[in-house]
C-alpha cells in the first residue's frame, strides 16, 4: 500500500516498528503534494520538517516513542501560529507574517513528536464556508475538483481526504471543521469550548473558536485530540473542566440517540436525510435507542451566530491596522490613510462584510437590539441543549443541508451560504463538542456527513461512537 | 454675577503590581523602548490575556479604603478605538460591572466627595515624536500596565477642593500600597470634567472634559483657566459647548480636541477572552482586616495620643513616606515632639528647597533617629545637627560617619576646654578687666570668643561654667 494511504495510527505503528522511516514518509507526502491539483496548502515547511524528522527518527531508533502519533506528519490550518513559519490566515493582510511564538497546540504536537508538513488553505480569517475567500485561491474538493471542499478549514479537510496529509488541525467557529470534513468524507472533531487552548489561534470569534483534529478515522482523531486537549495557563477560557482521553470503538447498546425533528425539515436534501437516517439505523441495529427530540430554539442559531461572531471579529481584526505587522499601505499620507488604505487593501470582501456587520451590531443605538438580544438567544440555545441532554446521550443529525456545492456558486449569495451553517453553528453557540463522520455518498459521488453532538467535555463518547460507526473513510487515495 | 465651579474627576492611577495586568512583563518605569514587551502586551495575533489576580486584590484594597461596595461578580469589557499606542486597537476595561462602586473620600471640612466607581483596565503605550525623521515612534513598555480609573461624582466646587480631594486620594492609594502615585512618571493622571453655574442654581451647566493632566499644579491651573473661560463665554452672551479639550500647561491654554458630535463610539462589549472573576465575601473581609492604618486614623492618633498639633499631624500624614519616617523616628527615640520638629522642619525644608517628592527621599530612614540621638547625648549641638542632616539628605551618608569624618563632635574633655578658654582670657585682657569691674556684657563677649575658638564644638553650658570658674 502506498505510504500516503495509511491512516495516522497505522502509519505510526509502521514507524515505531522501524518498518518505515520518517524521511521516506515526508518524501512521499511532498511528492504527492507537488502533483496535487487541489491547492490544499498555503505554504510548506520542508526544511523544518526534515530537520525535525531527523531528531524524531533518532528518538524512535533509540526506542523513545513520545506519543502514539510520534513521527507522523501533520498539516496545520494557516491561522495557528507557528514560530518563524509564515502564518497568513489566507489573507493578504498577514502575507509574510512570521509569528515570534508557537501556539500551545503546536508546542503540544511538537512535544508529541508529530512533524509539521505545512500550513493549509482556508477561508480568509476563517470567514466563509467554502475556502473560496482565501487570498491564495480556492481549494478544490478531492472527490470532485469542480466542487468546493467546504470551509473554512477546507485545506485541512481536503489534504486529509486527498492523502496529502495523514492528519490535520483545523479550527471551528461555526462549523469550520465539521462542514469541510463532511464535504470531504473525513472525520472532524470540534471539541467543547475550553477543551483545547486557543493560545496562538488567530482569533475570528473568541467565544466560539475551537481548534480540533481532522483525520481519516475516529481513532486518529481521538489520538490527536488526546495530545492537544487540556489546561493552559495562557488561555483563561481553557480547562475549567478537563476532557477525558478517548479510546477505540465502544459498545453503543443502550446509548440514547436524540434525533431533533427540526434537523430533518425543509431545506435538507433528501439524499443527505436518507444517508443520515441510515446511519441512525446502523446505531439502533447495534443496540442504541433513538428518540425524537425537539430543539425549536435552533431556528434562531444562524442570526445569533452571525451577530456574535461578527461583533467579536470586528474587534479582533482591528489590530490589523498597518502599524505593527502585516500589510501596510505604501500610499498612505497620514495616520488615518494608513488605517483606511492598509485595511481596504489587505482584507478581502467577505472579511470586510463581517467587519461592517460587527461594527453595526455594536454601534450605540443598535447594541441593545442586536448584540444584547443575541447574547440572550445564546443562553436560550444553551439551555435548550442542556434540557435535551436530560433525555439523550448524543444528538444525531446532518452536518450540512447538502453535499459540497460547485465552485463559484456560493459567494454571490452570502445569505444562502450563511443559512447552510444551520446545523453546525448552534453547537458553537452552546459550546458543545460535535463530530462529523462520513456516512455515504450522494448520486454524484460526493460525501455526505453525519454529525453527532455531545455533552460538554464528552468528546470521548463522540469519538468512541464514531469509531463504532466506522465505515470506509472517504479518502480518495491515488 | 457670582459663579460656582462644578468639577468631577476621573483619576487614572497605575498600580504598583510587579507584573502587567494580562501578561508577565515587568511594570517597571523606564527601560529602553519596547524592552518590557511580550507577544501578549504587544497584541500579536493569536495571543490571549490572562488576568493577574494581584490587580484584583489591589483594586479591592483601594475600594475598601475609599468606602466602596465591592462587586463580587466582575467582568471585563472591550473598549474599541484605533490609535497607534494601542496595539490591539481595543483596551480591556470594565464598563458594565466595575469592581468598586459608591464610595467616598472625606475632605478636611467634613464634606464627602462621592465616588461613582473604580474600575480596572490596562494602560496604553506612548508615542514618541522623532525629530530626526519627523515621524512618531511607538513605545509599548507601558502597554498592559494595570490601571485603576477612579471616577468621582460632580461634588467638587473649585480648584482648591479638587486638589484637596486628589491629595487625600493620593495619600490613601500610597498608604494601601496600591500605587506609588508618582505623577512625574505618569502613574497618576486626571481627566477634569468642569462646568460653571450661577451661585444658587440647582441645574448643572454644560460641561467640558480636559484629558490626561499629570501634575497637581497643572490640574489647579487648568481648573482655574477653564472656569474663567466658561464664565467669560457666558458673560459675553455665548454658550459653553460640550466638548473634550486638551490642556497645554506650558501655554496655560486649552484646545478643543473633539466636539460632542465627534464623540467616539467605543462599541463596548463583554471581553470574550477573560472568564468572569468571582470575589468571595471571605476575600473581601480578609482584605478589609489587612488594611493598614489610613491617613485619617493616623492623623487622629498623632493628635490625641502623641500630642502633635493638628497642623503638624495633617502635614505629616499627607504623605505615607513622611508618615513612615515620622513613625519610625518617634518609635525609636520615644520623642514624638522632637521627631515631628525634625520632619516638619529640616525634612520639609530640604524637600521643598530641592524640589524633591517625599517618595523620592533617598536617605536611610534610620539616619534621622540617629541624628536626634547625637544631639540628645551631647555629641553634637543643634546647629551642627542641621548641617549633618543636610549631608544625610543629599548623599545618604550615615550621621555618625559624617560627624567623625568632619570632626564635628563637641569637645567634652574638661582639661582641653579649660586650656582653650584660658588662652581666650589671656588674649582678651581688656574684657576680663571690664568684667571684673562689673560690666556684665563683657561676659557674653567672652562666651562668644570662647565658642569661636572652639569652633562651636563645645556644649555652651560647659563653657559658661568653666568661664565663671576661671574668672573667679
Above pLDDT 90, what percent of chain A?
86
Beta bridge partners of B243: B259
**Residue B148 CA: distances (Å) to CA of B70, B117, B178, B250:** 14, 10, 9, 27
* CB proximity B135 to A under 8 Å: no
Taken in order A201, A206, A212, A214, is the CA torsion positive or negative?
A: negative
Which residues make Cβ contacts (< 8 Å) with residue A448, sequence separation at least 6? A182, A271, A272, A275, A276, A398, A403, A438, A439, A440, A441, A442
Model confidence pLDDT, tens digit, residues A132-151: 999 999 999 999 999 999 99
As a whole number of Å, the end-to-end CA separation of chain B is: 78
Instruction: State chain B's maximal CA–CA distance in angstroms.
Output: 100
* Chain A residues closer than 8 Å to B45 by CB: 81, 87, 89, 94, 97, 99, 202-203, 319-320, 325
Per-residue confidence (pLDDT) for residue A474, from 0 to 100: 45
Per-residue confidence (pLDDT) for residue B411, from 0 to 100: 66
Q: Does the structure show a pLDDT above 90 at A162?
A: yes
A473: pLDDT confidence band, cut at 50, 70 and 90?
very low
Give the active site residue among A91, A129, A156, A176. Answer: A176
| pLDDT average, residue stretch B72-100 | 95
- Select the CATH number that applies to the domain covering B414-471 from these four: 1.10.287.3510, 1.10.540.10, 2.40.50.100, 1.10.10.410: 1.10.10.410
B120: pLDDT confidence band, cut at 50, 70 and 90?
very high
Choose among A371, A464, A384, A470: nearest CA to A427.
A384
A451's enclosing H/E stretch is strand A447-453
| Omega before A152 within 30 of 0, i.e. cis | yes
Name which of B45, B49, B274 is nearest A202 (Cβ-Cβ): B45
Active site residue A412: no
Beta bridge partners of A260: A293
Structural domains in chain A plus CATH codes = 3-253+433-468 (3.90.1300.10)
Pull the grid cell for residue B304.
490625641
Chain A residue whose CA is closest to B87: A319
Q: Does the structure show a pLDDT above 60 at A425?
A: yes
Give the active site residue among A129, A152, A420, A473. Answer: A152
Inter-chain residue contact B46 with A233, CB threshold 8 Å: no
Active site residue A134: no
Per-residue confidence (pLDDT) for residue A215, from 0 to 100: 97
Instruction: Name the average pLDDT for chain B.
Output: 88
* Chain A residues closer than 8 Å to B267 by CB: 314-315, 359, 362-364, 367
- A444 vs B1: which has the higher pLDDT: A444
- B425 vs B123: which has the higher pLDDT: B123
B413: pLDDT confidence band, cut at 50, 70 and 90?
low
* Lowest pLDDT segment from A11-15, A200-204, B136-140, B424-428: B424-428
| pLDDT average, residue stretch B76-85 | 94
As a whole number of Å, the end-to-end CA separation of chain A is: 10
Taken in order B390, B394, B400, B406, is the CA torsion positive or negative?
A: negative
Q: How far is B47 from chain A (nearest CA, A)?
A: 5
Active site residue A36: no
- Write the burial class of residue A10 (CB in 10 Å: 0-12 exposed, 13-18 middle, 19+ buried): middle
Count of A-B CB contacts under 8 Å: 102
Instruction: Name the average pLDDT for chain A.
Output: 94
Q: Does the structure show a pLDDT above 90 at B71?
A: yes
Q: Does the structure show a pLDDT above 90 at B129?
A: no
- Write the burial class of residue A103 (CB in 10 Å: 0-12 exposed, 13-18 middle, 19+ buried): buried
| pLDDT average, residue stretch B236-248 | 88
User: What are the structural domain ranges in chain B?
Assistant: 3-284, 293-405, 414-471
Model confidence pLDDT, tens digit, residues A306-329: 999 999 999 999 999 998 888 999
* Chain B residues closer than 8 Å to A98 by CB: none
Interface test with B, best of A97, A171, A234, A366 (most B CBs within 10 A): A234
Above pLDDT 70, what percent of chain B?
99
Rounded-to-integer distance, Cα A103 and Cα A82, Å: 6
A344: pLDDT confidence band, cut at 50, 70 and 90?
very high
* Lowest pLDDT segment from A226-235, B127-136, B410-419: B410-419
Q: Within 13 Å of residue B301, how many CA atoms lie on the same side as its CB? A: 13
Pairing of strands B100-106, A187-190: unpaired
Per-residue confidence (pLDDT) for residue B44, from 0 to 100: 96
* Chain B residues closer than 8 Å to A364 by CB: 265, 267
Pairing of strands A394-398, A447-453: antiparallel
| pLDDT average, residue stretch A21-28 | 97
* CB proximity B89 to A under 8 Å: yes
Inter-chain residue contact A100 with B39, CB threshold 8 Å: yes
Per-residue confidence (pLDDT) for residue A304, from 0 to 100: 96
Per-residue confidence (pLDDT) for residue A475, from 0 to 100: 47
Tell me what ipTM this predicted complex has: 0.92
Per-residue confidence (pLDDT) for residue A240, from 0 to 100: 64
Model confidence pLDDT, tens digit, residues B293-334: 998 889 889 989 888 888 888 889 988 899 998 988 888 888
Inter-chain residue contact B269 with A367, CB threshold 8 Å: yes
Per-residue confidence (pLDDT) for residue B457, from 0 to 100: 73
Give the active site residue among A32, A77, A108, A280. Answer: A77
Per-residue confidence (pLDDT) for residue B307, from 0 to 100: 86
Beta strand spans in B166-279 (E): 188-198, 208-213, 243-248, 253-259, 269-270, 277-278
Per-residue confidence (pLDDT) for residue A471, from 0 to 100: 53
* CB proximity B299 to A under 8 Å: no
Amino acid at each position: 500500500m502506498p505510504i500516503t494511504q495509511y491512516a495516522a495510527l497505522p502509519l505510526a505503528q509502521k514507524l515505531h516498528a522501524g518498518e518505515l522511516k520518517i524521511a521516506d514518509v515526508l518524501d512521499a507526502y511532498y511528492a504527492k503534494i507537488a502533483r496535487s491539483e487541489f491547492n490544499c496548502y498555503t505554504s510548506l515547511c520542508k526544511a523544518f520538517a526534515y530537520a525535525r524528522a531527523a531528531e524524531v527518527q533518532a528518538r524512535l531508533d533509540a526506542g523513545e516513542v513520545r506519543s502514539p502519533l510520534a513521527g507522523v506528519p501533520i498539516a496545520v490550518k494557516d491561522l495557528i501560529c507557528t514560530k518563524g513559519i509564515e502564518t497568513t490566515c489566507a489573507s493578504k493582510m498577514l502575507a509574510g507574517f512570521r509569528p515570534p511564538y508557537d501556539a500551545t497546540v503546536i508546542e503540544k504536537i511538537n512535544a508529541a513528536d508529530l512533524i509539521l508538513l505545512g500550513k493549509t488553505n482556508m477561508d480568509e480569517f476563517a470567514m466563509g464556508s467554502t475556502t473560496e475567500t482565501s487570498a491564495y485561491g480556492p481549494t478544490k474538493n478531492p472527490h470532485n475538483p469542480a466542487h468546493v471542499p467546504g470551509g473554512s478549514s477546507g485545506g485541512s479537510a481536503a489534504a486529509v481526504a486527498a492523502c496529502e496529509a495523514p492528519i490535520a488541525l483545523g479550527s471551528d467557529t461555526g462549523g469550520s471543521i465539521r462542514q469541510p470534513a463532511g464535504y470531504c468524507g473525513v472525520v472532524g472533531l470540534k471539541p467543547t469550548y475550553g477543551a483545547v487552548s486557543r493560545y496562538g489561534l488567530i482569533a475570528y470569534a473568541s467565544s466560539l473558536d475551537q481548534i480540533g483534529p481532522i483525520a481519516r478515522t475516529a481513532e486518529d482523531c481521538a489520538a490527536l485530540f488526546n495530545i492537544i486537549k487540556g489546561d493552559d495557563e495562557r488561555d483563561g477560557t481553557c480547562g475549567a473542566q478537563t476532557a477525558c482521553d478517548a479510546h477505540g470503538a465502544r459498545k453503543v447498546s443502550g446509548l440514547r440517540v436524540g434525533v431533533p425533528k427540526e434537523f430533518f425539515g425543509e431545506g435538507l436534501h433528501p439524499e443527505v436525510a436518507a444517508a443520515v437516517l441510515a446511519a441512525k439505523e446502523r446505531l439502533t441495529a447495534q443496540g442504541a435507542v433513538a428518540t425524537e427530540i425537539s430543539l425549536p430554539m435552533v431556528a434562531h442559531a444562524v442570526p445569533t451566530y452571525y451577530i456574535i461572531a461578527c461583533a467579536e471579529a470586528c474587534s479582533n481584526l482591528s489590530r490589523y491596522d498597518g502599524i505593527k505587522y502585516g500589510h501596510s499601505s505604501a500610499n498612505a499620507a497620514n495616520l488615518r490613510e494608513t488605517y483606511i488604505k492598509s485595511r481596504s487593501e489587505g482584507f478581502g470582501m467577505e472579511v470586510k462584510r463581517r467587519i461592517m456587520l460587527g461594527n453595526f451590531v455594536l454601534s450605540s443605538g443598535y447594541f441593545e437590539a442586536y448584540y444584547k438580544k443575541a447574547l440572550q438567544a445564546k443562553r436560550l440555545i444553551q439551555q435548550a441543549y442542556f434540557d435535551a441532554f436530560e433525555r439523550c446521550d448524543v444528538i444525531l443529525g446532518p452536518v450540512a443541508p447538502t453535499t459540497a456545492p460547485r465552485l463559484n456558486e456560493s459567494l454571490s449569495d452570502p445569505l444562502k451560504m450563511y443559512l447552510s451553517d444551520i446545523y453546525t453553528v448552534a453547537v458553537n453557540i452552546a459550546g458543545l463538542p460535535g463530530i462529523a463522520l462520513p456516512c455515504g455518498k450522494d448520486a454524484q459521488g460526493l460525501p455526505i456527513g453525519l454529525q453527532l453532538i455531545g455533552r460538554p467535555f464528552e468528546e470521548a463518547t463522540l469519538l468512541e461512537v464514531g469509531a463504532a460507526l466506522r465505515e470506509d473513510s472517504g479518502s480518495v487515495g491515488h | 454675577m457670582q459663579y460656582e465651579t462644578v468639577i468631577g474627576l476621573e483619576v487614572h492611577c497605575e498600580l504598583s503590581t510587579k507584573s502587567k495586568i494580562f501578561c508577565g512583563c515587568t511594570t517597571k518605569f523606564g527601560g529602553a523602548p519596547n524592552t518590557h514587551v511580550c507577544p501578549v502586551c504587544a497584541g500579536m495575533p493569536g495571543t490571549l490575556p490572562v488576568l493577574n489576580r494581584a490587580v484584583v486584590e489591589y483594586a479591592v484594597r483601594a475600594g475598601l479604603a475609599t468606602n466602596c461596595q465591592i462587586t463580587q461578580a466582575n467582568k471585563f469589557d472591550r473598549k474599541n478605538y484605533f490609535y497607534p499606542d494601542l496595539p490591539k486597537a481595543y483596551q480591556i476595561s470594565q464598563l458594565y460591572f466595575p469592581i468598586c462602586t459608591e464610595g467616598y473620600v472625606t475632605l478636611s471640612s467634613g464634606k464627602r466627595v462621592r465616588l461613582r466607581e473604580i474600575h480596572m483596565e490596562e494602560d496604553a503605550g506612548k508615542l514618541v515624536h522623532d525629530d530626526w525623521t519627523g515621524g512618531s515612534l511607538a513605545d509599548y513598555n507601558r502597554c498592559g500596565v494595570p490601571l485603576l480609573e477612579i471616577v468621582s461624582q460632580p461634588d467638587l466646587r473649585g480648584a482648591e477642593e479638587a486638589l484637596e480631594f486628589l491629595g487625600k486620594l493620593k495619600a490613601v492609594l500610597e498608604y494601601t500600597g496600591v500605587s506609588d502615585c508618582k505623577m512625574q512618571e505618569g502613574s497618576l493622571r486626571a481627566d477634569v470634567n468642569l462646568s460653571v453655574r450661577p451661585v444658587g442654581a440647582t441645574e448643572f451647566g454644560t460641561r467640558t472634559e480636559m484629558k490626561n493632566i499629570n501634575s497637581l499644579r497643572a490640574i489647579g491651573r487648568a481648573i482655574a483657566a477653564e472656569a474663567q473661560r466658561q464664565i467669560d463665554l457666558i458673560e459675553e452672551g455665548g454658550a459653553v459647548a460640550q466638548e473634550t479639550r486638551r490642556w497645554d500647561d506650558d501655554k496655560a491654554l486649552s484646545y478643543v480636541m473633539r466636539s460632542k458630535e465627534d464623540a467616539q463610539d467605543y462599541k463596548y462589549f463583554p471581553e470574550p477572552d477573560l472568564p468572569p472573576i468571582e470575589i468571595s465575601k471571605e476575600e473581601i473581609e480578609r482584605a478589609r482586616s489587612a488594611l493598614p492604618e489610613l491617613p485619617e486614623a493616623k492623623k487622629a492618633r498623632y493628635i490625641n495620643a502623641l500630642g502633635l498639633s493638628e497642623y503638624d499631624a495633617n502635614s505629616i500624614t499627607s504623605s505615607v513616606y513622611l508618615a513612615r519616617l515620622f513613625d519610625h523616628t518617634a518609635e525609636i527615640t520615644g520623642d514624638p515632639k522632637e521627631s515631628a520638629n525634625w520632619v516638619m522642619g529640616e525634612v520639609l525644608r530640604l524637600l521643598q528647597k530641592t524640589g524633591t517628592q517625599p517618595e523620592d527621599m533617598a536617605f536611610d530612614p534610620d539616619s534621622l533617629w540617629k541624628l536626634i540621638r547625637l544631639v540628645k547625648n551631647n555629641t553634637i549641638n543643634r546647629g551642627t545637627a542641621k548641617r549633618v542632616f543636610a549631608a544625610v539628605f543629599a548623599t545618604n551618608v550615615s550621621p555618625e560617619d559624617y560627624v567623625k569624618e568632619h570632626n564635628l563632635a563637641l569637645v567634652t574633655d574638661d582639661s582641653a576646654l579649660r586650656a582653650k578658654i584660658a588662652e581666650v582670657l589671656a588674649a582678651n585682657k581688656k574684657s576680663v578687666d571690664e568684667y571684673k569691674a562689673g560690666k556684665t556684657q563683657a561676659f557674653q563677649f567672652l562666651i562668644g570668643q570662647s565658642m569661636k575658638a572652639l569652633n562651636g564644638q563645645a556644649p555652651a553650658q560647659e563653657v559658661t561654667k568653666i568661664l565663671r570658674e576661671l574668672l573667679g
